[in-house]
Amino acid sequence: MPVIKSAKKSLRQNKKRKIRNLSYKNKMKSLIKKVRGLVKENKTKEAKKLLPQVYKILDKAAKVGVIKKNTASRKKARTTKLINKEAKKLNSSNK
């Protein structure tokens, strides 16, 4: 345990930040997993409806500093690409 006053404050700040960061990370991971699950089940319309939520949480996490801007951008691009690829595959098989 810290003895110095500034170290005690730093410890308190780190605990608060850890909780905040974990909440963002858990939201990100759960939403992306949900989208991937929907894509696997061939429910691309539902996945597309979740896409704005995914974008929002990724942008917010990048803004707060949980992840970097390019990481958020990459995750958004990959999830969108996955959904579009699956939608295209379903459309071509329905013809």
* pLDDT 10s digits, 1-52: 899 999 999 999 999 999 999 999 999 999 999 999 999 999 999 999 999 9
Sign of CA dihedral 48, 85, 87, 30: negative
pTM of this prediction? 0.86
3-state percent breakdown (helix, strand, coil) of the chain, nearest 5: 85, 0, 15
What is the reported pLDDT for 95? Answer: 63
Token digits for 33?
Answer: 């997993």
pLDDT tens-digit series, residues 82-94:
999 998 888 887 7
* Third-level CATH fold of 5-94: Methane Monooxygenase Hydroxylase; Chain G, domain 1 (1.20.58)
